């Protein structure tokens, strides 16, 4: 099994309770399955199997997470949660959902 597939399985487990919400859905984003709330992405798995989530900048710093880099540019509210920290994925994915839910109409 490749890294992305392992990550997708881990995220499916971590988000199992979240997907039951009527406003949460799963769709393709950045070449992977992404989780969104009312169409706004909050979590997906990168090619290397790590979790990528949308969180406030301050929270990313508190969790000591690296920013996602796109085209050489760090993304301000997107962070990488390494597969090695998979025990934290459920809680962090829940935080990402709450954050995006709060900032999205």
- 56: Cα within 13 Å, side-chain hemisphere: 9
6-23 average pLDDT score: 94
Which pLDDT score, from 0 to 100, does residue 29 have?
72
Q: What is the CATH number of the domain that holds 42?
A: 3.90.1150.30
Range of the domain at 75: 3-103
Q: For the chain, what is the domain count?
A: 1
Whether the Cβ atoms of residue 38 and residue 49 lie closer than 8 Å to each other? no
- Of residues 86 and 59, more confidently modeled: 59
Which pLDDT score, from 0 to 100, does residue 57 have?
96
What DSSP string describes the chain? Answer: --HHHHHHHHHHHHTTTGGGSTTEEEEEETTEEEEEETTEEEEEE-TTS-EEEE--HHHHHHTTPEEEEETTEEEEEEEEE-GGGGGGHHHHHHHHHHHHHHH--
Confidence of residue 17 (pLDDT cuts 50, 70, 90): very high
Which pLDDT score, from 0 to 100, does residue 33 have?
77
- Of residues 89 and 105, more confidently modeled: 89
Taking only the tens place, the pLDDT of each residue in 63-82 is: 999 999 989 999 999 999 99
**Considering only CA atoms, which of 25, 64, 66 is closest in space to residue 46?**
66
Taking only the tens place, the pLDDT of each residue in 20-48 is: 998 999 988 767 779 999 999 999 999 99
């Amino acid at each position: 099994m490749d890294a992305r597939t392992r990550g997708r399985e881990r995220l499916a487990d971590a988000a199992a309770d979240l997907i039951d919400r009527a406003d949460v859905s799963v769709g393709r984003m950045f070449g992977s399955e992404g989780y969104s709330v009312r169409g706004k992405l909050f979590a997906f798995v990168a090619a290397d199997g790590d979790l990528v989530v949308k969180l406030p900048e301050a929270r990313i710093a508190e969790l000591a997470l690296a920013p996602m880099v796109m085209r050489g540019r760090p993304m301000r509210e997107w962070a990488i949660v390494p597969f090695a920290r998979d025990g934290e994925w459920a809680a962090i994915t829940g935080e990402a959902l709450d954050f995006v839910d709060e900032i999205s109409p």
